[in-house]
Structure 1
Amino acid sequence: MVNDDQPLHVAVSLHSHATSVTVFNGLNFSEWREQVNFHLGVLDLDLALLEEKPTDITDEISDTEKLKRKAWDRSNRLCISFMRMTIANNIKTTLPESVTAKEYLKLVEDRFRSADKSLAGTLMAELTTMKYDGSRSMQQHILEMTNTAARLKSLGMTVDDSFLVQFILNSLPPEYGPFQINYNTIKDKWDVNELSSKLTQEETRLKAQGGHTVNLVGQGAGKVLKPKSKKFKKKGPAKVPQVTNGKTEDKADNCHFCKREGHYQKDCPKRKAWFEKKGIPYNPEHRPK
C-alpha cells in the first residue's frame, strides 16, 4: 500500500495512470470500468471498491480497526478522484460526489449501461456481416474480427471461439469457396489462431497464382492444375493453282482419263476410242455433266 508520507508521489502516479485511461464518454462504460479497475489495482488504491465502508472510528474500536478505516477512507477519496479525472466533463457535472466510490461506480453503470447494449448490438451486426475484400492483408482482417469479438466480451456478450471461426469463414470471398468446403469435411476443427495461419498461407498462394487457384485443405493441398496449351502445327504457304485464260491449268502432261503422263485428256487416244465405241461424236472439250 502507498504510504501517507508520500502525497506528491501518489498524486503524480494517480495523474499518470489517469491519462492512460480511455475517457468515459457515455458510450464505453464496460471498457472504461475495466481500465479503471486495473489502474486502481496497480496503484493499490482499490480497497474502497472491494470492501464496504468499515465501522466509524470511535474510542471503543481497536487500533487495527482504526487503521483499516483510515486506509478505506483514503482509498475511497482517491478512487472517486481517479474516476472523475477519467470522465468527460459534460457527464462528470451530472454525477453526485457525496457517495462512496463503490456507489459512484454503480451510479455511472445504472445510468449508461443501456448504451452498452446498443453498442453490443451494433458490434454483433458488424461481426456477422464483415467481408474480406482484399484491400488489406488476411491477418489484418482476422485481427479486426477478433478485436470486435473482444469488445463484445467486454460488454458482457461472449463470442465462442467456434462461432468466431465460422464468422471468419463466412467473411471470405468466392475464390476461397473450395477452402471453406474442405474445412467443413475435415474431422479436426481449428481454433482462430490455426485458421489465421492457414488462411495467411492460402492468401500467399492465391496472390502468387494470380488469385485464380485455391489451395485445398487436407491431403493433396498445394497441387495446382495448369491448363494445357494448345499446340498448332506450322503450315507452309498455301499453294495457289496457276490460272490461264480464266481456267486452272492441270499438271503438265497429265491425263485425267487414262491417268498417264505425256499428254492431256483432250489428246488421249483411249478417250477418243471410247467416244467412237459409244457412237458419240468426239469432242475434245466435252466434260461430263
Structure 2
Amino acid sequence: MGMTPSSSRLGSVVGVVSLLAHSAVSSGSRARRSSGSLSSRRGGFSAFMQLSFVKALNGTNYDDWKESLNMYLTISEKDLALREPKPADLSSESSTSEIAFHKQWSESNRICPAIIKYTIEKGIRDSIPENDTAVEYLKAIGNKYKKLDKTQKNYYLSLLDNTRYDGVSGVREHILKLVHYYNKLKSYGIDLGESTLVYRVLQSLPSEYAFLRTSYNSQEAEWSVDQMISIDTQEEEAIKKNSSHSINYVSHGSSSKSGGSHKKKGKKYDAPKPNNPTFKKDGDKSEKSRKKPFKGLCNYCKKPGHIKANCFKLKNKQESEGAKKPEGSK
C-alpha cells in the first residue's frame, strides 16, 4: 500500500521533531557535564587559594605553621586521616559503610602529606623521612622541632608564679593568661590542680582585691576557674564604680568651696588674724609683751600689772593739771 503525500509529510515532521529532541537532550547533558566540570575546577582553585594562607614552615615558626595547617585541613574537611586511625584492611565480609570509610580515609591519607609537603621549605622537606600515614609524617616533623621539656616547664612555672595584674588589660584577660600557662604545664605532665591555680590567680591581684582573698580563705568550698573569673570580674566593676564616684565627689566638693570673699589663684588666701604671731598691732608692742602681762609694780601708784607709762592714775593727774593751767601760760 503506497503512502499518501500527507502521510509522507507527517513522517518527515515526526523525524525532525525526534532529531531536535535528541539534540536538545545531548546538549543539556553536555552542558551539565561542562557545568559540573567548571564547578569542580572552581572548587579546586578556591581550595588552592585557601592553601596560600597556610604559613610556610621555615625553621623558626613551627607552632604558627602547625596551627595554620590544622585550620586549613579542618575547614577543607581533608583531615580525616589525622583524626581517625588507619582502618583495617577490607575483606569480602566488609560492609558498605566500612568500604566507604576506607575509601575516604585512604583519600585523606593521600592528600594530607601532599599538602603538608607543599607548605614546607625544600631544605626542611628533604630532611624528613617518608612515612606510611599522614600522622606519622607530621610526627616526624614535630620531632625536628621538639623543645626540651625541662626548660619549658621552668619557663611556664616562672610565669605562673611571677605574673602580676597590671591593671590595664582587664582582670578577665589576666586570668585567662594564667590559665594558659597552667594548661601549658599540664601538657608537660605537671598538673598543679585547679585549686592551686585559683590561689595563685588571687595572689597575683593588687591590694584592691584583698577582700576576695580573705573571702576565699575563709570558705571551705573551693572555687572553680569559671566561678573565680565571674567573681573577680564583678569585683573589678565595683572597684571602678567606687573610684569613679570618689573622683566625682572630690571634684564637686572642690568646685563648691571655690567661692568666698578672698579669691586667689594658687594657694588658699587666709586673712590675717589678731592671734597670728606675725601680726603686730600699732607696731609698738613686741610679741613678748603681748603674750605675757607685766607682773611688776608701777613706779608711780605702786600697783601691779602695769608700768608707769601706762598708769591711769598718773594720766588722770596730768590731764587735770593741764585743765587748771591758766591761758597764755607756757
Give the TM-score of the pair, scaled to structure 2: 0.50
The offset of 1:206, in angstroms, is 4.9
Higher-helix-fraction structure: 2
Identity %: 22
Indicate whether 1:182 and 2:214 are aligned: yes
Indicate whether 1:257 and 2:298 are aligned: no
Deviations 1:138-188 (A, max 9, x none): 455444334444555566656644333333332234x43744553444426
1:80 pairs, out of 104, 113, 116, with: 113
Q: Which amino acid in the other structure matches residue 200 of structure 2?
A: F
Equivalent residue for 2:81? 48
Equivalent residue for 2:137? 104
Q: Which amino acid in the other structure matches residue 101 of structure 1?
A: A
Equivalent pairs counted in the alignment come to: 234
The offset of 1:103, in angstroms, is 1.6
Matches within 5 A, 1:128-277: 128-134=161-167, 136-152=169-185, 160-173=193-206, 175-176=207-208, 178-179=210-211, 181-187=213-219, 189=223, 190-202=227-239, 205-206=242-243, 235-236=273-274, 237-239=279-281, 242=284, 257=303, 262-264=312-314
State how far apart, in whole Å, the 2-side matches of 1:130 and 1:25 are: 30
Q: Whose RCO is larger (CA < 8 A, sep 6+)? A: 1
Q: Over the residues paired in the alignment, what is the CA RMSD in angstroms? A: 5.0
Change (3 A) 1:142 1:68: closer
Change (3 A) 1:264 1:24: farther
Change (3 A) 1:100 1:147: same
Equivalent residue for 2:32? none
Change (3 A) 1:153 1:147: same
Q: Does the Cα contact within 8 Å between 2:81 and 2:109 map onto a contact in 1?
A: yes
Deviations 1:72-128 (A, max 9, x none): 321111111233344465533321235321221232344434456644542332222
Change (3 A) 1:88 1:152: farther
The offset of 1:9, in angstroms, is 1.9
Instruction: Detail structure 1 runs of 4+ shifted over 6 Å in the superposition.
Output: 60-63, 247-250, 258-261
Indicate whether 1:13 and 2:37 are aligned: no
Q: Does the Cα contact within 8 Å between 2:54 and 2:65 map onto a contact in 1?
A: no
Deviations 1:201-224 (A, max 9, x none): 3256457658xxxxxxxxxxxxxx
Larger Rg: 2
Q: Does the Cα contact within 8 Å between 2:202 and 2:213 map onto a contact in 1?
A: no
State how far apart, in whole Å, the 2-side matches of 1:203 and 1:160 are: 31
Change (3 A) 1:133 1:45: closer
Unaligned stretches of 5+ residues in structure 1: 211-231, 268-289
Matches within 5 A, 1:57-76: 64=96, 67-76=100-109
Change (3 A) 1:121 1:103: same
Task: Name the SS of the counterpart of 2:313 in structure 1.
Answer: coil
Q: Does the Cα contact within 8 Å between 2:51 and 2:72 map onto a contact in 1?
A: yes
